[in-house]
Amino acid sequence: MKEGRLRRLKVKISNFKLKDMLDFKNLPLRRDKAIDSAEDKVIQTDFPINSNARALHPAVQRMVVSRIIERGASDARTLILTTEDGKPAAWFRAGQYVSVSLKIGDSRVTRPYSISSSPKLTKDGRIHITVKGSKNGFVADYILKDLKEGDSVLVSGPEGRFYHDPLRDSLNVVAVAGGSGITPFLSMAYAIRDGLENFNLTILYGSRTEESILFRNELESITEETDKVQVVHVLSDEQKPDFEHGFITADLIRKYAPEDYSLFICGPQALYSFMESVVSELNLPVRRVRREIIGVSGNMVAGPCEEEVFHTITVHQGPYRFEIKASSKETVLVAMERAGITAPARCRSGECGWCRSKLLSGSVFIPSENDFRRRKDKDTDHIHPCVTFPCSNLEIEVPRGDSEV
């Protein structure tokens, strides 16, 4: 090709490509015509993935106490909760808990309870929780004495990480339970029986007397239906044939544990404290020891709030401002609930971070065993009110609590 001259190229466009070009050119015209001819109404649509997400992780489940089972000498009640609309309840992993919201007087309070039923029952819209009486148990007393069949309750979606994970845990689990701490293990046993979980479960269950054993019949029935679940009862106050006696020690665990196992622990605060030395004696890897949410530690000796003093807490919540009185012996969350402030709460152990709030001024005490805050939150004076005790007048900024849970 000579310099300065342009060479003309002939490009042949097929009929198919020409049609594409014309369609593209006319696209705005077709779009405007379709819009002008459409009905003037709001399109109601939902995507299956969003529906499934809401079903699996609901903010609230409206449920009814359809049946109450009294547990006699155990001073406990099992509540069978059923969804109001008859739809399936949120699916959960055996070992998880739900937060139950109740209106008691002028206060809206929440408490976490482990689910004691099989995940299989969620298809029928059911979950079971069991509540045991406790000293100064304000909510427990209400549930045991005043809640009745037919009452409505609000329940959160399933929470917590206290379940068997095959990527983390051994195929063999030794469960140490005390009192109502049997509930998540009962759920695991049901799930194993129903083929929803696949691991071997040995439960060492501590009770004071044979008569006070919770779910004895249910546990025996499960062990008859599957050889993957074994239950060993340990009585502290009685010596009887076919029962272990005393406390659940490292030697007792070694007696029933296989060579390779994970240790799961659930029970009252006294059990967790006792098991600290037992766990250290067993020399298990950290990943092989699992604990259910422990509640608020009663250890105030190391804190500056040893003497009970009453303080004023100024609470900022959205556009609202409240001034309430609080004892140095109660958590900030309890003080807010008692004053009728709806504050966010789920685990009440400092773990989930649901109640994360900003400390604007004042001095507080947080038991070290309950301080699960991120380092950044500590640096920026954020607290978890569910495990924070006031040691002076406080000013805090608290998120708006869900009015329902």
Instruction: Catalogue all structural domains in the chain, each as residue range(s) with its CATH number.
Output: 54-155 (2.40.30.10), 172-291 (3.40.50.80), 310-397 (3.10.20.30)
What is the average pLDDT across 271-296?
A: 90
Above 70 in pLDDT, residue 156?
yes
**Who has greater pLDDT, 295 or 169?**
169
**Which range has highest mean pLDDT (45-49, 142-146, 171-175, 274-278)?**
171-175
At 281, the amino acid letter reads: E
Tell me the residue length of the chain: 405
What is the pLDDT, as a whole number, of residue 138?
A: 77
Residue closest to 382 by CA, chosen among 351, 401, 360, 399: 360
Edge-first strand listing for the sheet containing 357-361? 320-327, 310-317, 394-397, 357-361, 382-383
**Who has greater pLDDT, 325 or 27?**
325
Cα separation, 261 vs 264, in Å, equals 10
Strand residue runs (E) in 40-91: 61-70, 76-83
Q: What is the mean pLDDT of the chain?
A: 89
Structure letter (DSSP) for residue 42: -
Cα separation, 192 vs 195, in Å, equals 5
pLDDT band at 17 (very low <50, low <70, confident <90, very high): low
Residues near 139 by Cβ (< 8 Å), separated by ≥ 6? 102, 104, 109, 111
What is the pLDDT, as a whole number, of residue 41?
A: 79
Cα separation, 263 vs 250, in Å, equals 11
- Largest alpha-carbon pair distance within the chain? 112
88-124: pLDDT as tens digits: 999 999 999 999 998 888 778 889 999 999 999 999 9
Structure letter (DSSP) for residue 159: B
At 266, the amino acid letter reads: C
* Tokens matching residue 75: 């001073």
Cα separation, 400 vs 224, in Å, equals 49
Task: Please spell the DSSP secondary structure of 104-144, one letter per residue.
Answer: ETTEEEEEEEEB-S-GGGGGGTEEEEEEE--TT-HHHHHHH
Above 70 in pLDDT, residue 306?
no
**Would you call 43 exposed, middle or buried from its count of C-beta atoms within 10 A (0-12, 13-18, 19+)?**
exposed
**Would you call 174 exposed, middle or buried from its count of C-beta atoms within 10 A (0-12, 13-18, 19+)?**
buried
Taking a C-beta distance cutoff of 8 angstroms, is the pair 296, 349 a contact? yes
What is the average pLDDT across 283-288?
A: 93
374-384: pLDDT as tens digits: 999 999 999 99
262-275: pLDDT as tens digits: 999 999 888 998 99
19 C-beta neighbours (distance < 10 Å), count: 11
Helix (H, G, I), strand (E, B) or coil at 364: strand
Q: What is the dihedral of CA 53, 59, 64, 70, to 10 degrees?
A: 100
What is the average pLDDT across 72-97?
A: 92
Task: Please spell the DSSP secondary structure of 85-108, one letter per residue.
Answer: T-PPPPP--TT-EEEEEEEETTEE
What is the pLDDT, as a whole number, of residue 238?
A: 92
Backbone angles phi, psi at 317, to 5 degrees: -140, 100
pTM: 0.82
What is the pLDDT, as a whole number, of residue 302?
A: 46
Residue closest to 200 by CA, chosen among 232, 162, 167, 170: 170
221-252: pLDDT as tens digits: 999 999 999 999 999 999 999 999 999 999 99
pLDDT band at 1 (very low <50, low <70, confident <90, very high): very low
